[in-house]
Structure 1
Amino acid sequence: MTKAYYWLAIKEVIALQIEVIKDYGGCSGILDEGALESTLYRPQQLAYYEPSSNIYDLTAAYGYGLVKNHCFVDGNKRIGFVVMAVFLLRNGYELIATEIEAVDIMINLAKGNISQNELASWLTRNSVVL
């Protein structure tokens, strides 16, 4: 049996992306709805089919998918980070990385310099239990 997690719904992620764009600029809108749905279900599939996955693995699946799949017209790195932070908060964890560290990890993720597993390790080091 898998642990119960508080997942993000597609409508929530779309609303978050709109807010991120309002706050920091860019164009709102979905570039590929199918990719967005697939990306948001990936952590759930990971939890179900790989029950040894922990909160950081699942969080990394959200961030990695949103950045690499370019689901939105703009702000994919930003929304990837926000979704990771929200998912962690919903599940009793908080990201404690500095803004500089957060920007660095998301840029390196987008450039392909780090893997999903490396992102999960970074999240482990940069999160605390609430």
Structure 2
Amino acid sequence: MEYRYLSSSDLIYVNKRVLEFTGEKQEVIQYPEGLSVIIEQPQMVLFGHELYPSLWLKAAFILQKSTKKHIFTDGNKRTAYVITKLFLKLNGYGLKVSKSQGIALMLSVTTSADSEEMMQKVAVFLEKNSVRSNK
């Protein structure tokens, strides 16, 4: 399957909009290398095999790493949530969770280890709570 991905400028734009929405104007990238990780790693192929072979693992990677890498000076968790939803939408799915479920997801990612196990749990959650959108 061919996936569609967000760009670095998309992530920067989302962070800017997230901060504007809450009345914050600070838009500073504190870890530019992190942008590359979040953009490039979900697309990686090693020895002919995708590093993250499913949409759900790619989305979980994006959510987890953009939460943990602290790319921006502010709004990282909010940006992570929005870009994950956008990534899913670009690929034909809508994340259908309540506000409290979304908050619980982000708190669990934030407070857990940056591990493969957690990424797997997030992938399962995203798959269970996403619906195919009409294209």
Could you tell me the TM-score, scaled by structure 2's length? 0.86
Map 1:25-104 → 2, pairs under 5 A: 25-26=23-24, 27-45=26-44, 49-50=49-50, 53-104=53-104
Specify whether residues 53 and 17 from structure 1 end up closer, same or farther in structure 2 by C-alpha distance, changes over 3 A only: same
Q: Deviations over 1:48-75 (max 9, x none)?
A: 7337721111111111110011111111
- Counterpart of 1:129? 132
What fraction of aligned residue pairs are identical, expressed as a percent? Answer: 25
Moved more, 101-110 or 24-33: 24-33
Q: Is the 8 A contact 1:62 1:80 kept in 2?
A: yes
The amino acid of 1:95's aligned partner reads L
The residue matched to 1:115 in structure 2 has which SS?
helix
- Counterpart of 2:14? 16
Question: Within 2, Cα distance between the matches of 1:87 and 1:52?
Answer: 14
Q: CA deviation at 1:39?
A: 1.9
Q: Deviations over 1:6-55 (max 9, x none)?
A: 10010011011100010024432211001121122121116973377211
Unaligned runs of 5+ in 1: none
* Root-mean-square deviation over aligned CA pairs: 2.0
The amino acid of 2:127's aligned partner reads T
Moved more, 52-61 or 62-71: 52-61
Question: Within 2, Cα distance between the matches of 1:23 and 1:42?
Answer: 29
Q: Which has the larger radius of gyration?
A: 2
Q: Deviations over 1:62-112 (max 9, x none)?
A: 111100111111111111110110001011000001111001111110111
The residue matched to 2:44 in structure 1 has which SS?
helix
Q: Is 1:116–2:114 an aligned residue pair?
A: no
What is the total number of aligned residue pairs between the two structures?
128
More helix by share: 1
Q: CA deviation at 1:125?
A: 1.1
